[in-house]
Amino acid sequence: MDQNSSTAAPSKSLRRVLVPLALAQFICSFAGSNMNVMISDISEDLNTTVQGVQIAITLFLLVMAALMIPGGKLSDRYGRKRCFTVGLIVYGAGALISAISPGLGVLILGNSILEGVGTALLIPPVYILTTLLFTEMTSRARAFGVISALGGIGAAAGPLIGGLITSAISWRAAFIFQALVIAVIVLLSRRIPDPLPPDPSSSFDTGGAVLSAVGLVLLVTGILAADNSLWLMVILMIAGGLVLLLFFRSVRAKEKAGKEPLLPTSLFRNRTSNLGLVTQNTQWLMLMGTSFVVSAYLQVVRGYNAIETGVIFTAATLGLLTSSLAAERLAKRWAQRTLILAGFVVTIAGVGVLLLLVSGTPTAWAFAPGLLLIGLGLGAMLTPSVNVVQSIFPDSEQAEISGLSRSVSNLGSSLGTAVAGTILVAGITATPGRSYALAMAALAVVGVIGLVAAVRMPSELRPAAADGATHQDGPGDRLNRGG
């Protein structure tokens, strides 16, 4: 497909392609947050605890993060369309197993493992195919905007939709809903073309994939262990750090030997991209951390059921939907960096409002103003952050940067549930107010880190040079103009 085949207004065929890709991002983000309103129902039905459900949610997000980079590399070897389809099938099987699970172990197998693996296979092709099919930069930015917006809306609306289904039928029906959406995506995706043929000769760094996955799992598992043993937490986190150090040493060794590593170090040589990845990580950490903390607090401490909890989260969904729909108009008036900065300021303000208004206020609607601000802030900056990272690299590196970008975002999601959730769960029965305040304060600190990263972004965003080549007007230049 040449540059002229796609104009600022994508053709009908491209718009049809965008629908299943955006729906795939929606349902994967939905899966990460909808279980938050089922905490009480699942724990009672499966005879487990709040911490047990937290572990299942965190492991799902962690499996995604750990396998997203290998998933991106496999899409080169076996084809983007094929990996997308296989990922959908694995995800659908996991959703059906979760729906009939008799205990926490089977739920973890279906939801945390199979749905996590399926997501890691199907999400990188979503972003790679979008980059390859939408060759005109303005239409590409719009496509990323639609996908990112549906991802954010899926995460924000997950509690509401999950609450409605759980209250009307049962929590198991929410997984049936996911399987049905996956079936629709499979049907809609039949006409998605793969612009590049598979490359069976492409090498796959199995050792690097294992080391990166084990390192991330150990780090997040260490955080989850904080409630049981501080020594175990320290041991697991040190072990995770050492394994990740071995991973990066193996990457450098393979590059020096002229071999292809799982993740080239060249991806980390662009300062703007590195800062953009930090903003992605912190955005999703705040979104999923807030979702878990507020949901658990409402159900366990305030005694609200799934639908009541979901309705309260409507404020976040409305905020995110409003700012996401306005993303294109906002991008025409302000630079991407400005939108990211403003998004963090509004989101941090929302966390502050949640912290101030909720403490000592009996009504659940005290959560609405803070959740609305968080939704508005996140919706304004999710798309610019993806654009900054994804569009700054050439097409030849899209598999790697797509996997890295999605891995960083999903790692943020898992850390949000692990860190904020662990702080809350540690004292949710003995000192619920104090634990809630500490968890929200931790999220505010994370927001400040993201804000600092955004401040350090250069005002002029330009694409990374490939092999020393000089780029003409490219993604980064157009990013400055909101394209």
The string of pLDDT tens digits covering residues 135-169 is 776 777 778 778 877 887 888 788 889 889 998 99
Rounded to whole angstroms, the Cα distance separating 154 from 350 reads: 19
Rounded to whole angstroms, the Cα distance separating 300 from 464 reads: 48
Name the more confident of 479 and 85: 85
Q: Identify the CATH number of the domain defined by range 10-204+262-463+474-480.
A: 1.20.1250.20
Q: Measuring CA to CA, which residue among 134, 117, 21, 3 is closest to residue 68?
A: 117
| DSSP string over 357-409 | HHTT---GGGHHHHHHHHHHHHHHHHHHHHHHHHTTS-GGGHHHHHHHHHHHH
Rounded to whole angstroms, the Cα distance separating 398 from 73 reads: 10
Name the more confident of 228 and 294: 294
- Give the pLDDT confidence of 291-316 residue by residue, as tens digits: 888 888 888 888 888 888 888 888 88
Rounded to whole angstroms, the Cα distance separating 192 from 170 reads: 34
Residue 103: pLDDT above 90?
A: yes
Q: Measuring CA to CA, which residue among 372, 365, 378 is closest to residue 312?
A: 365
Of 269-278, 342-351, 398-407, least confident by mean pLDDT is: 398-407
Residue spans per domain, the chain: 10-204+262-463+474-480, 205-261
Mean pLDDT value across the chain: 83
Name the more confident of 217 and 397: 217
| DSSP string over 160-228 | HHHHHHHHHT-HHHHHHHHHHHHHHHHHHGGG---SS---TT----HHHHHHHHHHHHHHHHHHHGGGT
The proportion of the chain whose per-residue pLDDT surpasses 90, expressed as a percent, equals 31
Of 52-66, 162-176, 295-309, 420-434, least confident by mean pLDDT is: 420-434
Q: Measuring CA to CA, which residue among 111, 252, 256 is closest to residue 172?
A: 111
| pLDDT-based confidence at residue 454 (cuts at 50, 70, 90) | very high
What's the average model confidence in pLDDT over 220-227? 78
pLDDT reported for residue 359: 64
Cβ-defined contacts of 327-335 (< 8 Å, 24+): 327/145, 327/149, 327/379, 327/380, 327/383, 327/384, 328/142, 328/145, 330/380, 330/482, 331/141, 331/145, 331/383, 331/384, 331/482, 331/483, 332/482, 333/482, 334/482, 335/459, 335/461, 335/479, 335/480, 335/482
